Structures are given as structure tokens and as C-alpha cells.
Amino acid sequence: MSTAPRTLFEKIWADHVVAQLAQGSALLAIDRIFLHERTGAAALNSLAQAGRVVADPARVFAVTDHIVDTRPGRDDRTLMPGGQAFITETRAAAHAAGIRLFDVNDPEQGIVHVISPELGIVLPGLTLIAPDSHTCTQGAFGALAWGIGSSEAEHAMATGTLRLKKPGVQRATFSGIPAGCVTPKDMILALIARHGAGGGKGCVVEFAGEAVDAMNMEGRMTLCNMATEFAAMSGIIAPDEKAFAWLEGRRYAPSGAGWDAALQSWLQLRSDPGATFDREYAIDAGELAPMVSWGTSPEHSIPITGKVPEDANARVLEYIGLEAGQRIAGVPINAAFIGSCTNGRLSDLRLAAKALRGRRVASGVKAICVPGSMQVKREAEAEGLHRVFLNAGFEWRESGCSMCFFAGGEGFAPGERVISSTNRNFEGRQGPGVRTHIASPATVAVSALAGRITDPREVM
Amino acid sequence: MAEPFETLTSLPMPLLRDNVDTDQIIPSREMKSTGKTGLAEGLFAGWRYLAAGGRDPDPAFVMNDPRYAESAIILSGRNFGCGSSREHAVWALAEAGFRVIVAESFAPIFAGNCVRNGIVPVALQADAIASLAEGGTPVTVDLPRLQVLSDDGRAWRFSIDDESAAMLREGLDAIDLTLKHADDISAWQTCDRSARPWVYLGENV
Ligand code: SF4
């Protein structure tokens, strides 16, 4: 047996190789598959039409999150024209295939990458795939989790495997401890801004360092969530006591003697000293300021005290309606959105509520909070956070992806400027012509109060 | 399963821009079908129609030029198929009759989706693409020889990995290929079941 030091990624990869294929590819075992209603019916129906079955339905899950309505009192009807068919057909296909579906009004419904950890569906050392690019969120638990296309989902359901070229591996080390109001969202935006939206292309990026060790699991999920905005196949963090404590007792996690055996195996899941990476990044988290995006790519992000770059692309400036050299703080906004698989968990809502308590959003600002899961919503309500949001003038919604992306139904109006705790500020992401600024929940909340992009350190 | 691909001759439709992303190929709002079909109408909708969501053709967009009505080949620029991994982009292209995309480069997920759906992703240099576009004459794509031929007899070579080429030529599905390893897979799982019992939920929950 080789004793060469290995990275965390390499250990998980090696543990899952069923067969080597030609040209550096491998047949890799897939432990968990998670579908959602946007593509779930297409994948399941196409599989059935080809006369194939889901090899192990107990390890496949589905949820309605992407186009399901998030207004109170919801049912199968959606604001997206024709959206209801996605829900009813995914339901029918999931039932036919014997797959557990977290349906519209299931108490465990929520955004796929939020509920999977809540239910212990993701575990350290697993391979987990979903037809959604933010599946990388779940790498926070030391799993290899990544987004795939529909055909690959079919392939994995039919065979329990995927044919895959081995990705490269990088490491981003965050030293130091971030100052108040600097969150994991600011850390990942800083990485992408410094090294470009293509920096992690084709790689798995391991996040490490003092700031990551000190971070809670929700923050680690935020960090891994945006690995895909760095063009990485996934992000991953070595599981530690915090990860184990989070998972213990969750529904699909092992229990009793099974838990002890699993834990023994999970303790090996860390990069060996001396393991080599294709590329390493070092960032001092203690020196970071809250970040906000000014343009139409997450790499267009700057410290909130900064200015739109002088050499900013003219087309981007035209879309976003800002000028080169303009200070980003103080730019007026029309709307604020708190939610998504990036920043829609309990600690995110607590952070926003801390800013909002006893205050009102600026007049004319449309403000919406969408908890990442129904469990997050219940926990937030148990703490009274919903009253803080409602009293401040926020809408308080049922869980789902909601206005994180525009599916053809509900959106913001063309030209509206939105500060958003989501992950993508692409053209049209939140509706045709909508101008999105991505930032942490703290920055979104204080900006909603002021009606303009605001440094949370001035208020909190 | 896709139709096997050997050679194809068609007048190529020039769409000479860089970074044609999957949201431009099929905007999110056009993904109205819950299946893989019913998407062709939404192909390039943002450019093809005068208004978002409308169906009045914009005569300025190349796809509305009647000369290209039967085109099965698209010519484009760098990084074709970037952005969201939505496979609907490829389904829409396939349904609209396109079998080959010739571009300077491709987003990797998109290229993989092409192969799985019977579309040949052909990467050529910019000058080759420019001359194919200028010709305004039919182009032949020969997959066994890995060649693109213009009407006047010029030829350019391209490369594609063996597995993709085999899948495209035989109209093979990746699932069929993998199921040839069915014994390996079940042997691996038997072993893994005792090493990592917590992975196998059927038995535990
Ligand atoms: S919340 Fe947004 S980014 Fe996350 S899965 Fe839903 S649509 Fe995608």
C-alpha cells in the first residue's frame, strides 16, 4: 500500500472507483442522488421510457423547491406559467419509482442543499450528486458533492455510478479570524474577486485554515456553496467535531453501533500533512471587509468601502446602471432579498434580524425573506424572528428557491436594483433587466433599512 | 437514444459570437416542458423573437433567414455552451435538428451533454470557422475521419476522445456502456456494503 500523502478529495475518490476507464476516467460509485421538480420528472420519465429502473430507490430523494410558490397558503399552483406540471409530474414519477419526495407541504420541504444536511442525507465521505450546480454546498460535511446534468442523473440512478474524469484539486486557506460583520459570504466573494470566476475550473477546492475551523457548519455551507461560482466542480471541508455533532441523531444518519463505526471511518477524512495541491490560495480573513458585487459576475465584487473599477467593462456598466469609479456604498436600491441555499439558514436569519430588530425598511423598498427550509422557518419562528422581519416590513415566506432565480413567474421589475443574499448576479438572474448585488445577510439587511447599499459595520 | 452519426453535409448557420451561454440557447422562461421535447420553439428565443416571451420572428437573427431553415450545423466562437448546466440547451438544439456545433471551444459540461444527445461538438481554430462561414456553401462533417470539409475541397482535422466518438457513431447510450460493467458494480457494492453499511439506506431506515 502506498504511503504517499493524499488529499481529502483523493481519499474519497479512491474509495469510490469501481473500475478505471480509458483516458484517465473512472467509473465512480455514487452514494446519494437528490432530484428537484425542475428536472426530476424529465430524468425519471426518460429512464422509465427507456425501460430502465432506479437501481436503489432508497438512496434517491426528490424535493419541490425550485419553482414551488413561496407565498403563504401555497399549493401546487405556481406563478410560473405551466409550473404546476413540473410539480405534479415529478410527484407522479417519484411515486412510481419509489423515491422519497419532500413535497410542497411536507414539514421537511426546503431547498435541496439545505434539507439534505438537515436530514443527514449527506454524510462525510459520501459521493452525492444533484442536477443543480450548488450541490457543492454539501461539501461542507466532507462529502464529495457536485452538480450534474439530467442525463448523468439518469445514468447514476440506473447504474449507481457515473463515468468521470478525475478533477484537479486546489486548497484555499483562510488564516486569521474575520472581524465583526465579515461573514463566510464575504470570504468566498473575496476569493472569487481576487482569483477570478474561473479560478477553480475543473477542480475540487478544499477550504481550510483557522477561519474555517472556527466557522460553524452553516458558515461552511455558505463557503462551499459558491465553489461553483469559482468554476470549481465542488468545494470540500475536512469533517471535524462540529460536522459530527451536527449530523448525530439526524434522520438518515447512522445510529448506535453504526454511528460509532461510521465515525471511526470519518476520522480519516482529512488531507495528510504534505499532500500536494494543483494550486493553493492564501487569504487573511482578519483583513477582509464586507464585500458586495458591483457587476454581473461574482468576480465583480469589491469591499463595501470600494469603488466600481475604473476599467470596468462598458456593457456590464450599462446593464448594472453604474459608472466607473463610483462608490458602491450609497447606491440606492429598490428591493432586498434574504434567502437561498447560500444564506437562507437559521444563523443567516439571526444575523439579519439582529440588524432589523426594532427598525423599518426604507419606504419604497420591497423586502422579502424566504427561509431555506421549513425547519429553518419553524426554528426561526420559535425564536420570534418572523416578528422581527414582519415588523421591519419584510415579507415572511414559505421555503423554496423563490426569487433567487427567475423561472418565468415571480421576479423583480426590469431595471430594479436588488441587494440579495443569493449567489449569482448574472444578467437576468432575478428577472429580465434586474440588477442584482450579492452580499451577506447583514449587508442586505442594513441596506434594506437605509434604502441604499450600506456598510453593516456602520449600523451593527 | 440518439441516431448514429457518420457523416453529415449541410449549409452551416453562422452564429459567430463568443460565450453563447445556455441561457441564450434556451432562456429559463422557455423551459416550459417537463420533458426533453417541446423545447425547439424556445431555442435562442431571446434573439429569435422580437419580444421576450413573444413569437414574432426578428428578421435580423440568422435563424430566421430562410436559407438556414434546414441547417444541421452551427458555426460559433469561443466557450460555446457556458453558464448553467441545463441540458435543455442541448435538447432544444437537437429537437431543432442541429447535429453538429463547430466552435472555437466549448464549456465542458455542455460538450458532454452534446455527446449524450447525439450532437457532435467540433472544436476548430477561429480562421477555419471564419472561412467556413464566408464560403456560404455546404460543409461536410466526417466523424470517422475526424475531418471537416468545405465545398471547395479544403479539409480541417478535429479531435474528440475515443469514447465520445464511439458513442456518437454507434448511437450508444452511456448507460449501456456502463452496464457492461454490471458485474464490477455489484462486486464493488457487496464489498462496500460491509465496509460502509451506513451508505445503504434500504437496510437501516
Ligand atoms: S436557492 Fe438559488 S442557487 Fe440555490 S438551488 Fe435554489 S435556485 Fe439554485
- Residue range A282-314, pLDDT digits in tens: 999 999 999 999 999 999 999 999 999 999 999
- Cell numbers representing residue A175 in the block: 488564516
The amino acid at A456 = P
Q: How many CB atoms lie within 10 A of CB A390?
A: 13
Contact A58 B200 (CB under 8 A): yes
Window 27-46 of A, Cβ < 8 Å to B: 27, 29, 31, 38-39, 41-42, 45-46
Q: Over the stretch A333-370, which tens digit does the pLDDT of each residue have? A: 999 999 999 999 999 999 999 999 999 999 999 999 99
Say yes or no: A212 and A250 in one domain: yes
| Domain assignment of residue A106, yes or no | yes
Say yes or no: B94 and B189 in one domain: no
- Among A164, A189, A212, the domain-final residue is A164
| Cα A10 to Cα A2: distance, rounded to the nearest angstrom | 13
Identify from B178, B185, B200 which residue to disrupt to test chain A contact, counting A C-beta atoms within 10 A and taking the largest count. Answer: B178
Determine contact, residues A65/A101, Cβ cutoff 8 Å. Answer: no
- Cell numbers representing residue A389 in the block: 422581519
Tell me the backbone φ, ψ of residue A280, rounded to 5 degrees: -125, 140
Contact B108 A155 (CB under 8 A): no
| Domain assignment of residue A2, yes or no | no
Window 94-133 of B, Cβ < 8 Å to A: 108-109, 112-113, 116-117
Say yes or no: B154 and B202 in one domain: no
Determine contact, residues B81/B106, Cβ cutoff 8 Å. Answer: yes
Say yes or no: B106 and B148 in one domain: yes
Q: Residue B132's domain is classified under what CATH number?
A: 3.20.19.10
The amino acid at A17 = V
Domain that holds residue B185: 174-205
Q: Does the pLDDT at position B204 exceed 50? A: no
The amino acid at A223 = L
Determine contact, residues A157/A43, Cβ cutoff 8 Å. Answer: yes
Residue of A nearest to B110 (CA): A149
Over range A70-93, report the average pLDDT. 95
pTM: predicted TM-score of the whole model, two decimal places: 0.91
Chain center to CA of A378: 20
Instruction: Provide the domain count of chain B.
Output: 2
Please give the distance, rounded to the nearest whole angstrom, from the Cα atom of residue B85 to the centre of ligand 1: 13
Q: Is A175 on the interface with B (CB under 8 A)?
A: no
Question: Could you say which of B85, B117, B185 has the minimum Cβ distance to residue A133?
Answer: B85
Say yes or no: B102 and B188 in one domain: no
Q: Is A341 in the pocket of ligand 1 (CB under 6 A)?
A: yes
Q: What is the DSSP letter of A135?
A: G
Say yes or no: A323 and A454 in one domain: yes
Residue of B nearest to A29 (CA): B185
Determine contact, residues A275/A262, Cβ cutoff 8 Å. Answer: no
Give A31's contacts in chain B (Cβ within 8 Å). Answer: 199
Q: What is the pLDDT of residue B35?
A: 85
- Which stretch of DSSP H or E encloses residue A49? helix A40-49
The amino acid at A359 = R
Q: Residue A244's domain is classified under what CATH number?
A: 3.40.1060.10
Say yes or no: B138 and B204 in one domain: no
Determine contact, residues A329/A348, Cβ cutoff 8 Å. Answer: no
Say yes or no: A447 and A315 in one domain: yes
Say yes or no: B25 and B101 in one domain: yes
Give B23's contacts in chain A (Cβ within 8 Å). Answer: 426, 428
| Domain assignment of residue B94, yes or no | yes
Say yes or no: A341 and A358 in one domain: yes
Burial class (CB in 10 A: 0-12, 13-18, 19+), B12: buried
Instruction: Provide the domain count of chain A.
Output: 3
Q: Over the stretch A13-63, which tens digit does the pLDDT of each residue have? A: 999 999 999 777 899 999 999 999 998 999 999 999 999 999 999 999 999
Say yes or no: B111 and B128 in one domain: yes
Give B27's contacts in chain A (Cβ within 8 Å). Answer: 428
Q: Does the pLDDT at position B53 exceed 70? A: yes
Q: What is the DSSP letter of B71?
A: -
Window 298-357 of A, Cβ < 8 Å to B: none
Say yes or no: A43 and A57 in one domain: yes
Q: Does the pLDDT at position B202 exceed 90? A: no
Say yes or no: B54 and B153 in one domain: yes
Q: Residue A57's domain is classified under what CATH number?
A: 3.30.499.10
Domain that holds residue A30: 8-164
Say yes or no: A362 and A441 in one domain: yes
- Among A286, A303, A320, the domain-final residue is A286
Say yes or no: B78 and B179 in one domain: no
Say yes or no: B114 and B132 in one domain: yes
Shortest-distance Cα residue to atom 2 of ligand 1: A404
Say yes or no: A120 and A31 in one domain: yes
- Among A164, A182, A200, the domain-final residue is A164
Say yes or no: B60 and B160 in one domain: yes
Contact B87 A90 (CB under 8 A): no
- Which residues fall within 8 angstroms of residue B159, CB to CB, at 6 or more apart? B123, B146
Residue of A338, A423, A430, A438 to test ligand 1 pocket, by largest number of atoms within 8 Å of CB: A423
Q: Does the pLDDT at position A149 exceed 90? A: no
Say yes or no: A354 and A431 in one domain: yes
Q: Over the stretch B148-193, which tens digit does the pLDDT of each residue have? A: 999 999 999 999 988 899 899 999 888 998 999 999 999 999 999 9
Closest CA to A298 of A416, A193, A434, A202: A193
Say yes or no: B182 and B168 in one domain: no
Contact B196 A265 (CB under 8 A): yes
Over range B118-127, report the average pLDDT. 97
Angle A346-356/A385-392 helices, nearest 10 degrees?
Answer: 50
